[in-house]
Amino acid sequence: MKIAFIFPGQGAQYIGMGKELYDNFNIVKNIFDKTDEILIENFVNLVFNGNDEDIKKTENTQPAILMVSTAISQLLMSEGIMPTMTAGLSLGEYSALVAANSISYEDALPLVRKRGQLMNEAVPSGKGAMAAVLGLAEDKLLLCCEEASEHGTVSIANYNCPGQLVLSGDRSAVEKASELAKKAGAKRVVPLPVSGPFHSPLLKPAGDALAELLKNIGIKTPQVPVVSNVSAKPSGCVEEIRELLAKQVSNSVRWEDCIRYMIAQGVDTFLELGPGKALSGFLRKIDNTVNTYNVEDLASLENVLGLLKGV
């Protein structure tokens, strides 16, 4: 059995995530408590007892999901369940790098908070938009983007799985491309409740600023391969990791290709670690022959430990 740890991105968050595990495992409690120390605020209380508006703020969402995902990966590894590869969707790539001992949690936490702020500040509020397009082939959606480009920037931001692509860019251009996608045969087009046009060229200024921050982050060669969102393969060296993380905020997330790469390398079991089950859903559409489990609370943890411990 070859196991990959995969980590969710922004949008999976909810109030109270990780609370059961915090209450039952010291290794989880220690990471949550360390988060309060690093951020110098009562951040864990916000995650457990805050409101939806607070947890949806990008500068809170990103460190919150990193915290929960990292705690769960550390817990599983302490139980003897080790990954042969890691990957994460967008923000989740930082959780993957921490799990692979490439970036320390102490460095990653303030970095993703700043990343969230930079992404929010890159485009004025209301100017950008994103929309999920269901049931339309990539080539047809690219033609829609090309036709809609006279209204502004629009491109495919996420290649999540067969039948699910995501548009991102200027609001007017995304709306036009969405309209064209429906005419071209898309089953559904769903506007996404996001604060900006993530993973579009409009966020290049955020990526450039992030590149400067990454110069001061200690990054080591990962102990297991970490598959990059941008290249859909493991980074070759530390400098390439820095370069790809900076590009990631304005480049397409090639998630389906990431999963197919790992399967081609022999991975047959995927563990989604952190809030939600979105990645597990994508996986079943990409290849329903592999084993897919999520761990986000006590019940899902006990299920995975029962199935995999000692394997």
Same domain, 14 and 140: no
* Cβ burial 35-70 (10 Å sphere, 16+ → b, else e): beebbeeebbebbeebeeeebbbbbbbbbbbbbbbb
- Please check whether residues 183 and 283 belong to one and the same domain: no
List Cα–Cα distances, 156 to 66, 169, 232, in angstroms: 25, 9, 16
pLDDT exceeds cutoff 80 at 18: yes
- Give the per-residue pLDDT at 281: 96
52 shares a domain with 189? no
Catalytic residue of the set 73, 90, 178, 250:
90
The CATH code of the domain that includes 154 is 3.30.70.250
- Domain range holding 94? 3-122+202-308
Token output for 114: 């700043």
- Decide which of 41 and 222 is more confident: 222
217 and 149 together in one domain: no
Last residue of a domain, one of 165, 194, 223: 194
Same domain, 150 and 292: no
Which domain-ending residue is among 175, 194, 213? 194
pLDDT score recorded for residue 198: 94
Is 95 noted as a catalytic residue in this protein? no
- Tell whether 209 and 114 lie within a shared domain: yes
For the chain, the domain total comes to: 2
Annotation says 199 is catalytic: yes
Judge whether residue 310 has pLDDT over 80: no
- Residue pair 141/165 in contact (Cβ under 8 Å)? The answer is yes
Catalytic residue from among 102, 155, 195, 199: 199
Q: Give me the percent of the chain exceeding a pLDDT of 70.
A: 99
pLDDT score recorded for residue 195: 77
- Residues 25, 98: one domain? yes
Domain boundary among 194, 227, 251: 194
Residues 88 and 168 in one domain: no
pLDDT tens, 248-279? 999 999 999 999 999 999 999 999 999 999 99
CA distance 2 to 263: 9
Regarding whether 224 and 210 lie in a shared domain, the answer is: yes
Same domain, 218 and 281: yes
Q: Is 173 in the same domain as 150? A: yes
Residues 74, 31 contacting (CB under 8 angstroms): yes
**Residue 311: per-residue pLDDT:** 53
**Which residue is it, tokens 């329903």?**
288
* Residue 233 amino acid letter: K
Give yes or no: residues 72 and 213 share one domain: yes
Is a pLDDT exceeding 90 seen at residue 191?
yes
- 77 band by pLDDT with thresholds 50, 70 and 90: very high
> What does the alpha-carbon distance between residue 143 and residue 18 come to, in Å, rounded to a whole number?
42
Check which CATH number belongs to the domain holding 80 and give it: 3.40.366.10
Residue range 117-136: average pLDDT?
Answer: 92
